[in-house]
């Protein structure tokens, strides 16, 4: 690689000078960092973003995407059975995007290692692993699990899994891979240095399609005969991983290449993206990009017009993922202090920007209390405390529905090992498992 030529053409002569001042390991490291970046793209990005208004605000042609709560649909049981058959044939994989930095939570380590304070003290990773295993046992087939990390948390993630014996999952069924990074730029467009290295940050969860393909994981899935990939975020404590009904609904839809779970927004101010058609193409508009008049718009009955909240649970047909491996997603920008330099440019891609490129998509409405409890902040909204309360209340409701007499003042934690989504609970089981796989707690 001719660093002089590349860096000169990209206007990065300061970086070139710094590289030339180094020797030995430090030089090799920086060369490696430089080689990992697309300098032409970075130059173009800086020029475009500094010329444009920073806001990624949406255009005027925005219409809501209607959706129905799936469990109320007469076809729900049929979808569920179809999904179970597909899972049983090994045609479904789980794909966890866990390359984020979790800065709002303030936990020093991969977010999946975080213990949200349930009586069992299980980490988010363990809760997911157990749910996946339970489902795999029910359908009689293993479920491949792809886990995307970033260079910042890869080692720690893999070590955690290894130390926990992969939570009992067969090692061959899990595949870890790293997402890409992108260099932060100074306000003038120069590469930011972190000591003698480039200041590289993960390229956003939208980097997942590229990383899935480039790491060989997409080919690995194709080889295993996978047709549906369930993609989810690390921090939703209620995520129904590989939900059979969701899979069956997409399988039954002849047109859509993807499906997404949708909840009714808690209110206009809730910080979730919304599903909408923009210039007739389906997709998600991030809350920060949604103009206020759309955000607050109501229907004749007073309900919100743009009401379909994105909970970051998606399902892709493998043909959709193949299409996305080469497509280019837009870059979003943030101006932040990086390595002591104010107003640096940080770039990232969002995975929901893939939807307009796929054309038709299937919105699948779900009940928030059953499926959405994100752990974003250390305290307040969307925190470990709210997740504990939601899990505790939901599991108490599962028991109540199973005619188990419970203490209405207490909350319950039911291990995903004994119930995936509330099924199979009986009074006898409750009595046997209380204190073991069923734990009572107060919040």
Helix axes 76-88, 124-139, angle to 10 degrees: 90
How many residues are recorded in the chain? 443
Residue 284, burial from CB neighbour count under 10 angstroms (0-12, 13-18, 19+):
buried
By the rule CB under 6 A, 202 interacts with ligand UTP: yes
Q: 274 in helix, strand or coil?
A: strand
Binding window for ligand UTP (CB under 6 A); candidates: 10-18, 63-71, 99-107, 338-346: 99-107
Options 28, 101, 299, 426; binder of ligand UTP; rule CB under 6 A: 101
Options 83, 90, 99, 356; binder of ligand UTP; rule CB under 6 A: 99
Q: CB of 419: closest distance to ligand UTP in angstroms?
A: 24
Residues 375, 123: Cα–Cα separation, whole Å: 12
By the rule CB under 6 A, 273 interacts with ligand UTP: no
First to last CA, the chain: 58
Residues 342-361 as x/- pattern, contact with ligand UTP by CB under 6 A: ------x-------------
Q: Which is nearer to ligand UTP, 233 or 437 (CB)?
A: 233
Q: CB of 234: closest distance to ligand UTP in angstroms?
A: 4
Options 49, 79, 93, 102; binder of ligand UTP; rule CB under 6 A: 102
Q: CB of 352: closest distance to ligand UTP in angstroms?
A: 11
Residues 134-173 as x/- pattern, contact with ligand UTP by CB under 6 A: --------------x-x-----------------------
By the rule CB under 6 A, 98 interacts with ligand UTP: yes
Q: Who's near 206: CB < 8 A, 6+ residues apart?
A: 329, 348, 349, 350, 351, 352, 353, 354
By the rule CB under 6 A, 100 interacts with ligand UTP: yes
Residues 208-237 as x/- pattern, contact with ligand UTP by CB under 6 A: -------------------------xxx--
Q: CB of 191: closest distance to ligand UTP in angstroms?
A: 19
Cβ–Cβ contacts within 10 Å for residue 190, how many?
Answer: 18
Radius of gyration of the CA atoms of the chain, in A: 23
What's 374's DSSP letter?
Answer: B
Half-sphere exposure of 232 (CA within 13 A, CB side): 27
Q: Which residue is nearest to ligand UTP (CB)?
A: 100
- C-alpha distances out from residue 406 to 121, 166, 241, 270, 401, Å: 22, 34, 27, 33, 11
Question: Which positions lie near ligand UTP, rule CB under 6 A?
Answer: 97-104, 111, 148, 150, 179, 202, 204-205, 233-235, 348, 376
């Amino acid at each position: 690689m001719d660093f002089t030529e590349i860096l000169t053409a990209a206007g990065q002569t300061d970086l070139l000078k710094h590289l030339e001042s180094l020797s030995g390991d430090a030089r090799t490291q920086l060369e490696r960092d430089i080689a990992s970046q697309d300098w032409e793209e970075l130059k173009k990005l800086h020029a475009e973003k500094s010329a444009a208004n920073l806001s990624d605000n949406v255009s005027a042609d925005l219409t809501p995407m209607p959706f129905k709560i799936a469990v109320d649909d007469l076809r729900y049981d049929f979808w569920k059975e179809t999904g179970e058959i597909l899972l049983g044939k090994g045609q479904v994989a789980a794909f966890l995007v866990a390359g984020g930095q979790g800065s709002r939570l303030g936990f020093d380590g991969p977010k999946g290692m975080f213990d949200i304070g349930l009586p069992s003290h299980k980490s988010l990773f363990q809760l997911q692993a157990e749910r996946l295993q339970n489902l795999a046992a029910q359908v009689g087939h293993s479920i491949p699990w792809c886990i995307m990390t970033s260079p910042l948390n890869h080692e720690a993630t893999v070590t955690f899994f290894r130390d926990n014996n992969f939570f009992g999952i067969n090692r061959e069924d899990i595949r870890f891979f790293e997402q890409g990074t992108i260099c932060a730029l100074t306000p003038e467009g120069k590469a930011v240095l972190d000591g003698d290295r480039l200041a590289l940050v993960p390229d956003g969860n939208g980097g997942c399609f590229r990383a899935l393909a480039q790491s060989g994981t997409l080919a690995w899935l194709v080889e295993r005969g996978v047709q549906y990939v369930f993609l989810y975020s690390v921090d939703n404590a209620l995520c129904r991983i590989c939900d059979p009904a969701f899979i069956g609904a997409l399988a039954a839809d002849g047109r859509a290449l993807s499906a997404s779970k949708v909840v009714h927004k808690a209110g206009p101010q809730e910080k979730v993206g919304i599903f909408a058609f923009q210039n007739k193409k389906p997709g998600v508009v991030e809350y920060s990009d949604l103009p206020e008049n759309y955000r607050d718009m109501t229907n004749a009955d007073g309900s919100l017009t743009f009401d379909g909240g994105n909970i970051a649970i998606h399902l892709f047909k493998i043909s959709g993922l193949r299409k996305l491996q080469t497509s280019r997603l837009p870059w979003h920008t943030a101006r932040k202090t990086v390595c002591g330099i104010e107003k640096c440019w940080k770039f990232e891609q969002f995975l929901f920007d893939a939807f307009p490129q796929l054309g038709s998509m299937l919105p699948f409405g779900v009940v928030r209390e059953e499926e959405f409890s994100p752990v974003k902040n250390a305290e307040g909204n969307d925190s470990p405390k709210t997740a504990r309360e939601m899990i505790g209340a939901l599991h108490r409701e599962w028991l109540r529905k199973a005619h188990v007499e419970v203490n209405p003042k207490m909350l319950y934690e039911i291990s995903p090992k004994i119930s995936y989504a509330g099924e199979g609970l009986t009074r006898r089981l409750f009595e046997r498992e209380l204190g073991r796989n069923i734990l009572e707690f107060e919040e």
